[in-house]
Amino acid sequence: MADSIRHCTVCDGQTFKRLAEAGKIWLEHNYKTVNDLNVFPVPDGDTGTNMLLTMQNAYREIADATSNHAGEIIRQIAHGAIMGSRGNSGTIMSQIWTGFSQAVKDMETFDGKAAKLALRFATDKAYQGVQSPVEGTILTVIREMTEAAEAYEADDNLVALLEHVVKAGWDALERTPQLLPILREAGKVDSGGAGLMYIVEGMLKAIHGEEIAAPTEEIDEFQTAVEAISHDLSLFESEKYNYDVQFIIKGEGLNVSKIKVDIESMGDSGVIIGNESLVKVHIHVDDPGIPISYGVQQGIIADVVVENMQEQYEALLREQRARQPEKKELKLHQVQPGEIAVVAVAAGDGLAQVFAELGVSGIVAGGQTNNPSTEEIVKAVRATQTNRVVILPNNKNIFLAAKQAAAICEDIDVEVIPTRTFPQGVAAMLSYLPDGDLEEIVAAMTEAKDNVITGEITRAIDTVELDGVKVKNGQFIGIVDGKIRYAADELTETVKGVLLQTNLDSAELVTLYYGAEMNPKTVAELVEVLQENYEDLEFVMVYGGQPHYHYILGVE
């Protein structure tokens, strides 16, 4: 490809398909670096992950495409990016693709002049998609890339133009801390801008003839799959095998496909992945010796683990019963056609149950570390089967995807209330009515969301100083309405510190939504202590089941 495009003046559909794939693969190599650039030291720094999932969905649309029409290929990329967009950066990136596609939609091939126009369309579309554009972000990077392209006189060579644009993009990224104080304070560049640059740099690498092999992350993938099996109690309840066996096979020319078939035939819950030199094995069997002997026949085995399944099951069951109350059936509110339905985003089965009891008609699983895609929100909106819907994103990083979902549902009157936290969503629901004037109800819900102060408690994953608070990696941190306000080594102290940062003088009720890893007994003891310290306040504990965040506090 490099020889055929290095000095080309136009780009066709199949060439652009290869460039898009290279951009996706290079981001796959670097998305963790992008994640590490997130400013807040919280376990939801997932900009790179969101952009990668968005890009993967975009490429999936053209993976089997044979068209050589550039406009058609890029249109499909834009559609895939929109439907798969996650998080604010992923959604902005989908708008970049959409703007680019609008400029070249009728072109079988495009040249340098068209590329400049397409970049301008992409930039304008990205800025239009954000209610209050902020400089020092991905928006700055795409804008300065576009301005560099427009100022570049030699546009008869697309490769030279792209080289110029990529250099301008990296320069713009390096300057983002000068434009955004929080980046300067944290000593980092913008993560969304970095994600964009890895995509375009991957395209340029492909043009230069560099081989970008897909990353090999079998170990991470293997561990994720095994952990999912290990924590699914329903598998244990129906399990007919007694032992959990794991080991590694090392060798040369290993046939992963055959090993997978052979091992899976020995038992249940098989996870077998790897390559020609290393294969990781997980299987549930009655006789551990059978898969282990088979592994010895294939090569050298290492890291052999054999665990008793019944003991595992009993331990997991005790742990689950200790941490979670009895689950209730999730009964969503069924609205009549023409009534107003509410779709809410919730992270955790307990939080979903709270929304169900308040009358929502649709739940989208998601929140911190797990931003839902635009497509998932669209499906939930359409599933309400009414033509008037309100969306509660309940997270600042889901708002743009919700707005994009609303725009896609052109045949439905959809309004997005900018709830940034779960307590704000709960407060908004207290003003919800299924019938009446949509505009009036949305106004009431929007006003009600600000009647609550939100506190969040989690562990820091980095050492940093923000907003005057020094945070050490591993400490508990308290966040109040989106800003870090307290850090301590002890959880109870952090909760008390957060409360002191809220307006308790006018508060009457504090609700503690406790996370999946919290023991209800421990929570009850904390509530008892808080009640003694604040006699004029009412404290209520509610199971939330949210990951990563020990507590979400609603102060009202």
Which of the listed CATH numbers 1.25.40.340, 3.30.70.380, 1.20.120.450, 2.70.98.10 matches domain 2-207?
A: 1.25.40.340
Q: Between 132 and 419, whose confidence is greater?
A: 419
What ranges do the domains of the chain cover? 2-207, 218-322, 340-451, 453-555
Query: How are beta strands 362-365 and 340-346 bridged, if at all?
Result: parallel
Q: How would residue 315 be classed by pLDDT, with cut points 50, 70 and 90?
A: low
**What is the rounded average pLDDT of the residues 529-537?**
91
Do the beta carbons of residue 541 and residue 354 sit within 8 Å? no
Determine the distance from the C-alpha atom of residue 447 to the mean position of all C-alpha atoms in its chain, rounded to a whole number: 28
Q: What is the pLDDT of residue 213?
A: 81
**Residues above pLDDT 70, as percent of the chain:** 89
66, 192, 437 from 360: Cα distances, Å? 44, 32, 17
Give Cβ neighbours of residue 253 (< 8 Å, ≥ 6 apart): 276
CA distance 431 to 413: 19
Average pLDDT over all residues of the chain: 88
Distance between CA atoms of 478 and 555, rounded to whole angstroms? 14
pLDDT tens-digit map of 518-532: 889 999 999 999 999
Residue type present at position 334: Q
Q: State the angle between helix axes of 70-84 and 13-35 in degrees (0 to 180), rounded to the nearest 10.
A: 30
Whether residue 67 is predicted with pLDDT greater than 60 in this model: the reply is yes
* Residues belonging to the chain: 556
- 32: number of Cβ within 10 Å: 14
| Predicted confidence (pLDDT) per residue in 331-366, tens digit | 999 999 999 999 999 988 899 999 999 999 999 988
Q: To the nearest 10°, the Cα dihedral for 440, 446, 450, 454?
A: 140
Give the neighbor-by-neighbor strand order of the sheet with 243-250: 268-274, 278-285, 243-250, 300-308
Taking residues 16-34, what's their average pLDDT?
A: 94
Confidence of residue 466 (pLDDT cuts 50, 70, 90): confident
- Specify whether the CB–CB gap between 244 and 303 falls below 8 A: no
Q: What are the backbone angles phi and psi of residue 546, rounded to the nearest 5°?
A: -70, 145
Topology of domain 218-322, per CATH?
Alpha-Beta Plaits (3.30.70)
Select the highest-mean-pLDDT range: 44-53, 200-209, 278-287, 383-392: 383-392
pLDDT the model gives residue 320: 53
- Residue 211 three-state SS: coil
Res. 176: pLDDT tops 90: yes
Per-residue confidence at 1, pLDDT binned at 50, 70, 90? very low
> The tokens of 67 are what?
């068209």
Task: Out of 197-201, 252-256, 409-413, 438-442, pick the least confident.
Answer: 252-256
Superfamily of domain 340-451: Phosphotransferase system, mannose-type IIA component (3.40.50.510)
Q: What confidence score (pLDDT) does residue 280 get?
A: 85
The predicted model gives 164-178 an average pLDDT of 96
Which residue spans within 240-311 are E strands per DSSP? Answer: 243-250, 268-274, 278-285, 300-308
pLDDT for the residue numbered 293: 93
- Alpha-carbon gap, residue 402 to 86, rounded angstroms: 10
pLDDT for position 240: 61
Q: Please write the tens of the pLDDT for every residue from 269-300.
A: 788 877 788 888 888 888 989 999 999 999 99
Looking at this protein, which amino acid is placed at residue 163? E
Question: pLDDT value at position 8?
Answer: 63
C-alpha dihedral over 300, 305, 308, 309, to 10 degrees?
Answer: -90
Q: What is the largest distance, in Å, between two alpha-carbon atoms of the chain?
A: 77
> What b/e sequence results for 75-109 when a residue is b if at least 16 CB atoms lie within 10 Å of its CB, and e otherwise?
bbbbbbbbbbbbbbbbbbbbbbbbbbbbbbeebeb
pLDDT attached to residue 326 = 63
Relative to beta strand 469-471, strand 476-480 is unpaired
| pLDDT over 90 (residue 109) | yes
Alpha carbons 381 and 407: distance in angstroms, whole number: 12
How far is residue 305's CA from residue 367's CA, in Å, rounded to a whole number?
A: 35
Q: What architecture does CATH give domain 453-555?
A: 2-Layer Sandwich (3.30)
Buried b / exposed e across 228-242, counting CB within 10 Å, b at 16+?
ebbeeeebbeebebb
Supply the pLDDT for residue 233: 44
pLDDT digits (tens, 9 = 90+) for 477-512: 999 999 999 999 999 999 999 999 998 888 899 999
pLDDT digits (tens, 9 = 90+) for 68-103: 999 999 999 999 999 999 999 999 999 999 999 999
How much of the chain exceeds pLDDT 90, in percent? 65
pLDDT number for residue 236: 44
Q: State the Cα–Cα distance between residues 195 and 201, nearest whole angstrom.
A: 10
Structure-block tokens of residue 403: 């707005």
Separation of alpha carbons 315 and 320, rounded Å: 9
Q: Which is more confident, 187 or 227? A: 187
Can you tell me the distance from the alpha carbon of 439 to that of 402, in angstroms, rounded to the nearest whole number? 18
* pLDDT category of residue 238 using cuts at 50, 70 and 90: very low
Asked which of 44-58, 165-179, 404-418 is least confident by mean pLDDT, the reply is 44-58
pLDDT on residue 38:
86
Model pTM score: 0.78
List phi, psi (to 5°) of 483.
Answer: -120, 140
